[in-house]
Structure 1
Amino acid sequence: MGKPVILCVDDESVVLDSLKIQLKKAFQDEYFYETTESADEALEIIEEYEEEETELIVIVSDWLMPGIKGDEFLIQVHQKFPHVVKILLTGQANEDAIERAKTEAKLHRYIPKPWNAEELVESIKSGLKTIDN
């Protein structure tokens, strides 16, 4: 079993690149950082992690993506992996989607784009504290 994984899902590669840089800067080599451009691809990766017994600890997801929207994706993940910290990072989500993610996916935090790197890192840290206890 390797390092725990932080998975970032966004249909814009420039956003994924920025997230990966910010997370590596904040957490160094403590975690493995995975990025994917769709919820469908993320679900496949999550299944692979499960088979490999690799621990997925955080998902940072956009809301407006082709195919499955972020709230629906996080709900699907939560049904199978309720312990995973879920963060919605988006400039497009409507209030109903955010509320659905909070109630049905136990959304840890909603962060609007453009985001503040410190806020994102603090959100991840506070989310990780909830699963450590």
Structure 2
Amino acid sequence: MSKPVILCVDDERIILDSLRTQLTAEFGDAYTYEGAEDAEEALDVISELSDEETSVILIICDWLMPGIKGDELLIRIHQSYPHVIKIMLTGQADEVAIDRAKKQANLYRCLSKPWLESDLLETIRSGLSKL
């Protein structure tokens, strides 16, 4: 059986690398960590993992990305995978987008960039405890 996946979605590679480093340091090999640089890639990753019967259990998603914004991505994911814990990590989301994600995607939390590692990790641990 494959390990559950935490998916990070951000159009900045340095952010994805930083998240992977922090997640690996905190959770080790308990999870598989995947990254996507835009919404389309994220949807492809989720679809491929689903085909392999591998569960994405948590998504950390930026809001301002080329193409599909983070709130719309999380709403799309929620429609097919409502059990996934969704965290938005952004410096630029407006309140309307955050509110829409809370109502339509069951957004768990929204954290601001730059984030405190301790806040992010506590939010992830808290979210995972809801599974």
TM-score range, shorter chain: over 0.9
Taking structure 1 as the reference length, what is the TM-score of the superposition? 0.97
**Which residue of structure 1 aligns with residue 12 of structure 2?**
12
Structure 1 stretches lacking a partner, 5+ long: none
Equivalent residue runs for 1:30-109 within 5 Å: 30-109=30-109
Structure 1 stretches (4+) deviating beyond 4 angstroms?
A: none
CA distance in 1, matches of 2:49, 2:11: 21
C-alpha distance after superposition, 1:15-51 (max 9, x if no partner):
0000000000010110000011001000011000110
SS in 2 for 1:110: strand
SS in 1 for 2:44: helix
Taking structure 2 as the reference length, what is the TM-score of the superposition? 0.98
CA RMSD in angstroms, aligned pairs only: 0.6
The structural deviation recorded for 1:2 is 1.0
Q: Percent identity?
A: 59
CA distance in 2, matches of 1:109, 1:26: 19
CA distance in 2, matches of 1:42, 1:107: 17
Structure 2 stretches lacking a partner, 5+ long: none
CA distance in 2, matches of 1:94, 1:86: 17
